[in-house]
Amino acid sequence: MTPAVEIQGLTKFYKSFQALDGVSFNVQPGDFFGFLGPNGAGKTTTIAAITGLANFQTGSVRVFGHDVRADYRQSRRLVGLVPQEFNFDPFLSAEQILFFEGGYFGLSRAEARSRADELLKTFDLWDKRKGNYKKLSGGMKRRLLIARALMHKPKVLILDEPTAGVDLELRHHLWDFLRRLNKDGTTIFLTTHYIEEAEKLCSRIGVIHQGRIVAMDATGDLIQRMTGDQVELYFKMPAAGLPDALKALPVFLEENGTRLRFEERHQIVSSVLRILHEEKMDVEKINVRRPTLEDAFLKLTGKKSGIAI
């Protein structure tokens, strides 16, 4: 099967700064792919290379087999891009923005009009279609960005932090819409700083850090491979310190000696409980938390998730 997006050995420099260092990965048709990384990791640069907005020094990028350099027009027709920032023409209304976008991609006037009307209704923008787009709320502008990217019915939809700054209700509406779009066959390539968003939506995850791919796997497999269950033991009496027998194990004494935290790997929990019993340290409560994508992300990048990375 021809990959929806195929990247091989991609290297990109901005003067002396290397933004991408031999990046290689594939996104298969029908994937809901999450591309994660801290600020400056190379996510937006990778997207710019896929869409022809940035040149690159070495490597290749193909969209459904079409080289983005040698066959730019065909590859670009296959991609819809939702950027981070609002980049609309300030003199156009919402319906004009969509109508002209259709023209850029070769839709006839009738096709562009019909498609624009359809998307304005789908994204609940119909009543605002003729007004100045600058008067739209932030959430409406975000919906208009997505509608514009879908005007030419792309096979790949790339979303660069599409829910940044939107309220919780709109975020869940957008999640539902993207799930339906993906179910109908559109390949989705998502970048986000909301790790929960990627975990809920994406079937596969790639993590980029300092311009290099550091992980690429199915979401559940990546989580299980990178981290085990998170175990917390709470003591009846605060411990003055770790017993010598525990110091050789990857455990952490926290909360003024009242909590012992560790990751369950290689049946370490049985060893910990045995040592605590021998040391007569009474455990009052045990919490076991299933690992999350955020746990895996932290281990891979050393960065916390969230918009303030």
Distance of alpha carbon 234 from alpha carbon 131, whole angstroms: 59
8 Å CB contact between 34 and 201: yes
Q: What confidence score (pLDDT) does residue 70 get? A: 94
Tell me what percent of the residues of the chain surpass a pLDDT of 90. Answer: 62
Q: pLDDT of 49-99, one tens digit each?
A: 999 999 999 999 999 999 999 999 999 999 999 998 889 988 899 999 999
Range 155-183 average pLDDT: 91
Positive or negative torsion for Cα 199, 200, 203, 208: negative
The pLDDT tens digits of the residues spanning 248-289 come to: 888 999 988 899 988 887 678 888 999 998 988 999 999 988
Which of 204, 164, 208, 206 lies closest to 187 in space, CA to CA? 204
Strand ranges (E), the chain: 5-14, 17-27, 32-36, 58-63, 66-67, 79-82, 156-160, 187-191, 204-209, 212-218, 230-235, 251-254, 259-263, 283-289
Domain residue limits, the chain: 5-224, 228-290
| Token duo for residue 162 | 């599409």
Determine the distance from the C-alpha atom of residue 225 to the mean position of all C-alpha atoms in its chain, rounded to a whole number.
Answer: 19
Instruction: Give me the CATH topology for the region 5-224.
Output: Rossmann fold (3.40.50)
Measured distance CA(53)–CA(49) in Å, rounded: 6
pLDDT at 307: 34
Band of pLDDT at residue 308, cut at 50, 70 and 90? very low
